[in-house]
Amino acid sequence: EIVMTQATATLSVSPGERATLSCRASQSVSSNLAWYQQKPGQAPRLLIYGASTRATGIPARFSGSGSGTDFTLTISSLLSEDSAVYYCQQYDYWPWTFGLGTKVEIK
Amino acid sequence: EVQLVESGGGSVQPGGSLRLSCAASGFTISNYWMHWVRQDPGKGLVWVSRIYSDGSDTSYADSVKGRFIISKDNAKNTLYLQMDSLRVEDTALYYCAREYDPVFDYWGQGTVVTISA
């Protein structure tokens, strides 16, 4: 089973600043990586798939990059509504696996 | 509008059973792989099971294999998860999710399952 590691548990960022979240896979997953956003009491919401493709309706301030084992989600200019937990997920090998998440807090 | 609404969660003793349902609207589940994913505070999001669009293919996480059965009723546009021989470690919020492209593009709001003596 592929282990997805999100090394930063909590990230505190000021409004308008850039937030950079990382995710590492225990072995290469090519570009088969997705990012999800989860707000309290809500279901996860798909943000990015294919490592860098924004899902329908996702604002351009969200971008993804990386391939192989190292991936990054960037929120270019943080808004208060971006306060959430962000999960990465690989879909290259079964079973699909998720990271434990990075909580983005607004300073 | 695509919607997934789970139901059937509850509190049972170890060894008990529950049947979760996920009613879909705004799309036809017969055209998609459908999944169950659970979330607990300690382990985050964990994939549980999936079923092919026509129901002919299923797979399970090792932790639930032999105890859980996924099924669907395409006529009712509803997904199910029969959970038997429940364990304390099955306690979680259970989501159903649609697979597309191939990621989870829509999720329900979840139903809580609590297993305790």
Distance CA A102, CA B40 (A): 15
Q: Do B47 and A97 touch (CB under 8 A)?
A: yes
Min Cα separation B16/chain A (Å): 26
pLDDT along chain A (107 residues), means of 10: 96 97 98 96 95 97 98 96 97 95 95
Residue type at B115? I
Contacts of A42 in chain B (CB under 8 A): 109
| Alpha carbons B28 and A3: distance in angstroms, whole number | 33
Q: Please, which pLDDT band fits residue B21 given cuts at 50, 70 and 90?
A: very high
B3 close contact with A: CB closer than 8 A: no
Distance, CA of A83 to CA of A79 (rounded, Å): 8
In A26-92 the beta strands, taken as DSSP E runs, fall at: 33-38, 45-49, 53-54, 62-67, 70-75, 84-90
**pLDDT, position B41:** 75
B103 at the A interface (CB within 8 A)? yes
- Nearest to B46, CA basis, from A73, A87, A23: A87
Proportion of chain A above pLDDT 70, given as a percent: 100
Length of chain A: 107
pLDDT digits (tens, 9 = 90+) for A33-49: 999 999 999 999 999 99
What is the per-residue pLDDT across B30-72, written as a single tens digit (0 to 9) for each? Answer: 999 999 999 987 778 999 999 999 889 999 999 999 999 999 9
* Residues forming a β-bridge with A15: none
| B41 has a chain A CB within 8 A of its CB | no
Tokens 């979240």 belong to: A21
